[in-house]
Structure 1
Amino acid sequence: MLCHLSSILWILIALGLGLVGIPLPLPFLNIVVPLIIWLSKKNQHPFIDDHGKESLNFQISFTIYSVIAFIIFLFLLAATCGIWAYTSNSTSSSLLFQIALVVGVVFGILSLIAGIVQLCLVIFAAIKAKKGEFYHYPFTIRFLR
């Protein structure tokens, strides 16, 4: 029983530390911290190994989706700014500035929603792990099997 409780504790720590990338703007911190814990503890219990791989798969997938979304945002912003720079009259410049502003606000809102979804999914996985159950994150690419 103690081995199982220790496993649950390490899973909860790894899951929780995967969230440090949300408020801290340090790239890939949400992957590195759980990876270190998983690599150091995966051989202690199959439960840690399974949850660690699942958490890492989710964090890697989420990071890839975030990078793709950011590239799309930059493309839309660059396209808008390019059109804005190409047009010289003040009416269309004002409109394009407003469009660029809307693109930025929409991206910000979508980023906030994505962070909340990430937070909720990790909390849900932690609750399942605490109960001794396994959880498969949705929309996750299985890099580690």
Structure 2
Amino acid sequence: MEVINQKAVRTDNTLLAVTHLTQLLSYVTGFGSLIIPLIIWLSSKDKVEGMNEHGKAIINFQISLILYIIISIPAILLLGLGILGLIGVGILGFILPIVNAVKASNGESPSYFMTIKFIS
């Protein structure tokens, strides 16, 4: 008798939404916007339906925001354009996780604006 190892995949839109909202931890604590979603994604990407797609989108978005911040800091010396970049990163980093948490709770795919795909 052969036993086939089947993993139970469950649908959990609440966990997907919470994973998106954990990106807002950096506004409260100053850190955690990359680490906490990474831990949630790695621990449940095989157990929750859609977590792999949402987790990759979150990690790509957070790495892109870090890259935009690194680019914006020296750009402050160029007529203050870096300040506009930092303000834009702050606004996008606050609004897009909320929008995508609502999308995740409705069962839709995530869409982050200006995200570079580091993990595909």
- On the 8 A contact 2:68/2:89 being kept in 1, the answer is no
Q: Report how far residue 48 of structure 1 moved.
A: 1.0
Gaps of 5+ in 2: 1-9
The match for 2:19 is: 14
Distance between the aligned counterparts of 1:22 and 1:113, measured in 2?
15
Measure, in 1, the Cα distance between the counterparts of 2:107 and 2:28: 28
Q: Percent identity?
A: 31
Q: Alpha-carbon deviations, 1:51-108, whole Å to 9, x = none? A: 11111111111111111111322xx18xxxxxxxxxxxxxxxxxxxxx8xxx49x72x
Distance 2:55 2:65 in 1: 15
Equivalent in the alignment of 2:5: none
1:46 aligns with 2:21: no
* TM-score (norm. length: structure 2): 0.79
Matches of 1:54 and 1:37, distance apart in 2: 13
TM-score, scaled to structure 1: 0.67
Residue equivalent to 1:118: 93
Q: Give me the whole-angstrom Cα distance separating, in 2, the residues matched to 1:60 and 1:47.
A: 20
Alignment of 1:62-141 (within 5 A): 62-73=65-76, 76=77, 103=80, 107=83, 110-141=85-116
d(CA) in 2 for partners of 1:144, 1:46: 18
Task: Note the aligned Cα RMSD (angstroms).
Answer: 2.2
Structure 1 unaligned regions, length at least 5: 78-98
Note the C-alpha offset of 1:49: 1.1
8 Å contact from structure 2 (residues 56, 119) kept in 1: yes
The answer as to 2:29 corresponding to 1:24 is yes
Q: 1:50 to 1:71 in 2, by over 3 A?
A: same
**Which one has the largest radius of gyration?**
1
Higher helix share: 1
